[in-house]
Amino acid sequence: MFASGGGSNLQAILEHFDALGASAPARIALVLSDRKAAGALDRAKARGIPSIWLPRDRASEMLALLQQHAITHIALAGYLRLIPADVVRAYEGRMVNIHPALLPAFGGPGMYGHHVHEAVVASGARTTGPTVHWVSEHYDEGAIIEQAEVPVHPGDTAAQVSARVLEAEHALYPRVVESLCAGRLSRAGTAAESPPPP
Ligand code: GRF
């Protein structure tokens, strides 16, 4: 998993795989962060999971690390850097991200963390929620795999919306990551790549 922040999604996935026990399709073998102080790295260390601070995003260095740790799939959760193109290509169909809004709305460069929820509240949207999507070479543009809707109530603050969306992320992401690692997700089967209606 790649993460720049607190790592609550990492925690949710770890707990989900724990609960699956022997039927878990994978284990978290590496946590990589561009931020030395990321809580995600601490959570990994506490579980004895290899954790690496990689402040540069050179594709060759990243690919070498991934190979060294025999990484088969990648889940991004709050990772704030663009993934180098060579890494995107190497993990085509094996790398997903979670975004805290209903893409294609409220996505793209600059749309991360509290910025997303502030924009949602300012827009007057009545619903929001996380999107899990394939990772492409552009921010938040890969085909959508699954979304979950949560309400935005009148008078909600961005912080209230953020907490509600995060709870939905923790229900959605572990399930999608499980499917990914179990080989149950196919790029062709995602909504954005289905053939157009006749
Ligand atoms: C989540 O809201 C995720 O959707 C976004 O960054 C946040 C990461 O939270 N991309 P955490 O580090 O998993 O707690």
155 CA to centre of ligand 1 in angstroms: 23
Peptide bond between residue 104 and the one before it cis (omega within 30 degrees of 0): yes
Ligand 1 atom closest to 10 (CA):
13
User: Which residue intervals of 91-135 are DSSP H helices?
Assistant: 114-123
User: Which of 169, 173, 176 best tests ligand 1's pocket when mutated (most atoms within 8 Å of CB)?
Assistant: 169
CA gap 86, 60 in Å, rounded: 8
Average confidence (pLDDT) over 41-46: 98
Exposed (0-12), middle (13-18) or buried (19+): which is 176, by Cβ within 10 Å?
A: buried
For the cut 70, the answer to whether the pLDDT of residue 166 exceeds it is: yes
What pLDDT does 188 receive? 52
Q: Is the pLDDT confidence value at 157 over 80? A: yes
Q: Which residues are catalytically annotated?
A: 99
pLDDT of 6 over the 80 cut: yes
- Mutate-to-test residue for ligand 1 from 28, 76, 98, highest number of ligand atoms within 8 A of CB: 98
Asked if 130 and 173 count as a contact pair (C-beta separation under 8 A), the reply is yes
pLDDT tens column, 14-23: 999 999 999 9
pLDDT at 57: 83
Q: What is the pTM of this model?
A: 0.93
* Alpha carbon nearest to ligand 1 atom 9, residue: 78
Do the beta carbons of residue 173 and residue 77 sit within 8 Å?
Answer: yes
pLDDT (tens digit per residue) in 65-117: 999 999 999 999 999 999 999 999 999 999 999 999 999 999 998 999 999 99
Ligand 1 pocket: which residues have CB below 6 Å? Answer: 3, 5-9, 40, 77-78, 98-100, 130, 166, 169
Supply the DSSP symbol for 102: -
